[in-house]
């Protein structure tokens, strides 16, 4: 009498190989298995590589026919993908996922097999997928998490840092943003972790660089595309090794990346500025900084890839305007006070520029704290090809009482395209306030949330061509400190009431500190 384990097997296997997790596998003739039957997968007859889509279910339920008198309970079965055991038991019900334990060749291909153990006799076999010619099929896992909308970085309660991305493929349909991927670093790199508090983020579609204040690693450089030297989601190296050739000489106090303009890194009080042609520049020990004695940096947002500038605060308190391009290099000049002296403050609170494609007499807005007083300075500026830009003081407004009392942790921003009412937003606590940067009347609450706002990012299309740009959405994140979770909202900040286009369902297990759009 034959013994059967019955069902349908959705893939074809060939004997041979070894199963690394369970020891060496016997590859001779079977002594107790008569056959494996019903093995077929239409469409793979002429294939040499089989694509499996990440997050798609894969069910394989094979038929094993034993020789007479064999006890089927003597056999155990395991499914192995790229050296990682993905399931135990004869039937496989698996959601396709690439793990950090899997190994792949240079073409991102691997092997997939059913491992069979006879625990009584010690015999073991591996069954590989094969095509009609008997060639073993290689398997490629097509990763589904490729960010096509944007990525976010969050700090977890245990002191580690993670990242995630918005599910979807069309940034022009923000109302469809309903779910997220989270825990991507752990998914592909465990047990490695990113430690510390986040002090900067660069995202270039192919790379995600997370800067932290924890030496010597100081963060991570992560592959975020399907093309490159590393698989999507994998750690390329630490910030300490790849950017500082070991570790920085002081704590990282600030970082920004402005495509088409510059990237900047504030290490201690030394400011290093480079072009933005690559996602990072190496800073060797003893390197000469672009500027010394810098306490704080903040760029104009949204910058829209035209006439960008940043503002710095020196350790002396002086506030300066600066910019960089490859043709002119670095330019820095003090911002004037009303009486013509140099503006000085304890903290920069907000930096915005008039969202316009005009290159003449553009307005820039700088909010600073002096003690408990908060002042909003308005200037006009024109960038030139000379050694100085034309910056003119326009007005100063005491905004200490705005938004229920201004503090250094609020977030100020404008739209990314020019609006008839010239909106200026302030995110403070759980409220989103709005006024006009022209009238500078007392702002009003335009929308309130259940928890405090941590991140706001305005996203537009065609950032390289501001005159033809369209504001797509504003990403806003709140943080519930009690639960230790963040929530994402997608807003239309051009509408009368800052309409919520989508309230994303997925909870984020930590405090979101940065969002970067594709």
What would the pLDDT profile of 194-209 be if each residue is shown by its tens digit?
999 999 999 998 999 9
User: pLDDT confidence of 463, banded at 50, 70, 90?
Assistant: low
Does one domain contain both 206 and 116? no
Q: How far apart are CA 129 and CA 133, in angstroms?
A: 12
| CA–CA separation, 350 and 308 (whole Å) | 15
pLDDT at 429 over 60: yes
The label of the residue with tokens 């290159």 reads 359
Residues 119 and 176 both lie in one domain: no
pLDDT at 430 over 70: yes
Do residues 261 and 367 both lie within one domain? Answer: no
137, 241: one domain: no
For 132-184, the DSSP string reads TTSPBPEEEEE-S---SSEEEEEE-TTSEEEEEEE--S-TT-GGG---EE--H
Judged against a pLDDT cut of 90, whether residue 379 lies above it is answered with yes
Tally Cβ neighbours within 10 Å of residue 55: 13
Pick the last residue of a domain from 231, 263, 285. Answer: 285
Q: Are 161 and 514 in contact (CB under 8 A)?
A: no
Torsion angle, alpha carbons of 352, 354, 359, 360, to 10: -110
| Higher per-residue pLDDT: 311 or 22 | 311
State the residue for tokens 């019955």.
Answer: 6
Instruction: Confirm if 141 and 162 have CB atoms less than 8 A apart.
Output: no
pLDDT beyond 70 at 368: yes
On whether residue 76 sits in a domain, the answer given is: yes
pLDDT of residue 27: 46
Could you list the residue range(s) of the whole structural domain that residue 135 is in? 3-142
Residues 363 and 312 occupy one common structural domain: yes
Q: Which residues share a beta bridge with 197?
A: none
pLDDT at 366 over 80: yes
Query: Any residues with CB less than 8 A from the CB of 396 and at least 6 apart, and which?
Result: 338, 375, 376, 377, 378
Based on the domain organization, do 306 and 186 belong to the same domain?
A: no
* Residue at a domain's end among 76, 110, 142: 142
**DSSP bridge partners of 180:** 166
- What is the CB neighbour count within 10 angstroms for residue 467? 12
Same-domain pairing of 263 and 280: yes
> Do 336 and 370 belong together in one domain?
yes
* Residue 189 covered by a domain: yes
Both 14 and 75 in one domain: the answer is yes
Lowest mean pLDDT among 259-263, 290-294, 483-487: 259-263
Three-state secondary-structure class, residue 426: strand
405 found inside a domain: no
Last residue of a domain, one of 93, 114, 142: 142
Q: Which residues pair with 139 in a beta bridge?
A: 50, 110
What are the pLDDT digits (tens) for 71-97?
989 999 999 999 999 999 988 899 998
One domain, residues 326 and 392: yes
Decide if 23 is inside a domain.
yes
Mean pLDDT of the chain, nearest integer: 88
Asked whether residue 387 is domain-assigned, the answer is yes
512 by Cβ neighbours in 10 Å (0-12 / 13-18 / 19+) ranks as buried
CB 183 within 8 A of CB 162: yes
Residue 133 shares a structural domain with residue 224: no
CATH number at residue 91: 2.60.40
Q: How many domains does the chain have?
A: 4
116-130, 164-178, 265-279: which range is least confident on average? 116-130
Quick one: what percent of the chain has pLDDT higher than 70? 90
Q: List pLDDT tens digits, range 382-392.
A: 888 878 899 99
- What CA dihedral angle connects 458, 462, 467 and 473, to 10 degrees? -30
Classify residue 40: in a domain, yes or no.
Answer: yes
Any domain includes 413? no
Query: What are the tens digits of pLDDT across the range 11-68?
Result: 333 333 334 433 333 445 667 888 776 555 667 778 888 898 888 998 888 888 888 9
411: in domain: no
> How far is residue 420's CA from residue 423's CA, in Å, rounded to a whole number?
8
Q: Are residues 192 and 221 in the same domain?
A: yes
């Amino acid at each position: 009498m034959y013994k059967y384990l019955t069902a349908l097997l959705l893939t074809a296997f060939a004997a041979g190989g070894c199963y690394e997790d369970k020891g060496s596998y016997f590859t001779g003739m079977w002594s107790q298995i008569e056959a494996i039957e019903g093995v077929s997968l239409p469409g793979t007859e002429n294939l040499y590589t089989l694509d499996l889509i990440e997050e798609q279910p894969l069910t394989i339920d094979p038929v094993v026919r034993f020789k007479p008198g064999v006890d089927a309970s003597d056999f155990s079965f395991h499914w192995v993908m790229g050296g990682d055991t993905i399931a135990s038991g004869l039937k496989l019900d698996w959601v396709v996922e690439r793990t950090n334990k899997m190994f792949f060749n240079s073409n991102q291909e691997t092997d997939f097999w059913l491992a069979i153990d006879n625990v009584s006799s010690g015999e073991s076999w591996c069954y590989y997928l094969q095509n009609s010619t008997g060639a073993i099929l290689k398997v490629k896992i097509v990763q589904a998490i490729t960010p096509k909308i944007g990525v976010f970085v969050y700090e977890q309660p245990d002191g580690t840092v993670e990242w995630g991305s918005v599910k979807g493929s069309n940034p022009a349909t923000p109302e469809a943003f309903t779910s997220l991927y989270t825990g991507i670093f752990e998914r592909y790199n465990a047990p490695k972790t990113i430690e510390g508090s986040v002090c900067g983020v660069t995202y270039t579609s192919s790379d995600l660089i997370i800067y932290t204040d924890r030496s010597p690693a100081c963060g991570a450089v992560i592959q975020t595309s399907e093309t490159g030297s590393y698989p999507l989601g994998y750690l390329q190296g630490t910030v300490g090794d790849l950017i500082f050739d070991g570790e920085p000489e002081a704590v990282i106090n600030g970082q920004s990346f402005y495509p088409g303009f510059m990237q900047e890194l504030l290490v201690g009080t030394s400011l290093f500025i480079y072009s933005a042609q690559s996602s990072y520049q190496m800073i060797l020990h003893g390197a000469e900084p672009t500027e010394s004695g810098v306490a704080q940096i903040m760029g104009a947002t949204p910058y829209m890839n035209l006439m960008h500038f940043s503002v710095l605060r020196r350790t002396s308190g002086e506030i300066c305007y600066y910019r960089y391009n490859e043709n002119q290099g670095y330019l820095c000049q003090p911002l004037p006070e009303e009486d013509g002296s140099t503006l000085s403050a304890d903290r920069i609170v907000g930096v915005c520029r008039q969202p316009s494609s005009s290159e003449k007499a553009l307005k820039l807005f700088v909010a600073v704290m002096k003690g408990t007083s908060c002042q909003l300075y308005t200037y006009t500026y024109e960038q030139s090809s000379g050694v100085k830009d034309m910056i003119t003081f326009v007005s100063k407004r005491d905004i200490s009482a705005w938004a229920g009392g201004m503090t250094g942790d609020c977030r100020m921003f404008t739209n990314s395209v020019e609006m008839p009412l010239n909106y200026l937003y302030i995110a403070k606590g759980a409220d989103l306030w709005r006024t006009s940067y022209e009238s500078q009347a007392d702002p009003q609450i335009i929308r309130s949330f259940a928890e405090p706002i941590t991140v706001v990012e305005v996203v537009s299309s065609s950032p390289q061509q501001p005159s033809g740009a369209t504001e797509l959405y504003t990403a806003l994140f709140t943080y519930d400190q009690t639960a230790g979770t963040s929530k994402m909202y997608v807003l239309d900040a051009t509408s009368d009431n800052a309409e919520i286009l989508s309230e994303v369902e997925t909870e984020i297990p930590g405090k979101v500190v940065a969002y970067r759009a594709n």
